[in-house]
Amino acid sequence: MSVRKSATAVLALAAMLSVGCKKSPPPLTEDEAAGQHLYNRSCAHCHEENDLGLRKIPPSLHHVFANQTLPSGTPATDDQVRRILLEGKGLMPPFAGRFSPVEMQQLLAWLHHGTE
């Protein structure tokens, strides 16, 4: 086999192996796990399953902090997400009084999980 064919074969093998090697997210911290529970209880039925049959499907919140801006165009910061959760925005109702300050931090921790 020529050097060129050998190099091509090695590159093709490396490419095939890298496709199956996805980096798994880091394990959940205690706060992230609590935030995941809160998300599943209070957010997922609209932002995941849309089991309310909403005509306008709410945006996915997975990797919401991976971008500089939220789907609405506002900055993707903890303060901005907290404000939207508490006050609502557009069709999203306000959640003021539904989360304690600790729960809000846990929910934000879950939303950050895997985006760092």
**13 pLDDT higher than 60:** no
Residue 9 lies in a domain: no
Q: What is the 3-state secondary structure (H, E, C) of 49-66?
A: CCCCCCCCCCCCCCCCCC
Q: What percent of the chain has pLDDT over 70?
A: 75
pLDDT tens by residue, 66-115: 989 988 888 999 999 999 999 998 888 999 999 999 999 999 999 998 65
**93 or 51, which is more confident?**
93
Q: What is the pLDDT of residue 62?
A: 83
Q: What is the pLDDT of residue 15?
A: 52
Residue 6 lies in a domain: no
CATH of the domain at 42: 1.10.760.10
Residue 15 lies in a domain: no
CB 109 within 8 A of CB 35: yes
Domain count along the chain: 1
How would DSSP label each residue in 3-19?
Answer: HHHHHHHHHHHHHHHHH
Q: What is the pLDDT of residue 7?
A: 47
φ and ψ at residue 88, rounded to 5 degrees:
80, 170
Residue 13 lies in a domain: no
Query: Domain range spanning residue 99?
Result: 30-112
